[in-house]
Amino acid sequence: MSKPILCIDFDGVIHSYERGWQDGGIYGTATEGFFAWAIEAVKLFKLVVYSSRSKEPDGARLMSEAIGKWSIDAIDAGEVPRDYDWSELFGDLTFANEKPPAFLTIDDRAVQFTGDWSILDPVLLRSFKPWNAGGSEKV
């Protein structure tokens, strides 16, 4: 039986992105706890990374390389056991160049639509801040 797709944004979700967009470079680190979470998530989902970077010519390669480097950092930090079989995670972690037909999406810049437009006040939407820019309130 195939696993449902869990679409994960890169910048601000996997990538710490504390300086925002800087000429397209990936300069930060993995967000704390990502690898420990991903190891559990791949047991139930196929993880697909989709980002605004996905349409850049080298976007998928750069994201993949960053995650590979950060996986070593996660081992060194003790977040992942040294004997972890990375094929389990990397076998179910892919990069899309188009938004996949996901069961669920994790994104730092998203609001869940619940069927009620009246609760999506445009003024509040305009003041939205992601977690890494000091935002924590719900829209």
Longest dimension (CA), the chain: 51
Positive or negative torsion for Cα 33, 15, 78, 104 = positive
Give the C-alpha separation, 104 to 14, whole Å.
16
- In this prediction the pTM is 0.85
> Range of 51's domain?
5-110+117-133
Q: Is 37 inside a domain boundary?
A: yes
- Per-residue model confidence as pLDDT tens digits over 9-32: 999 899 987 777 777 778 888 999
pLDDT of residue 138: 57
104 in a structural domain: yes
Query: Is residue 68 one of the residues assigned to a domain?
Result: yes
pLDDT in tens, 120-132: 999 999 999 888 8
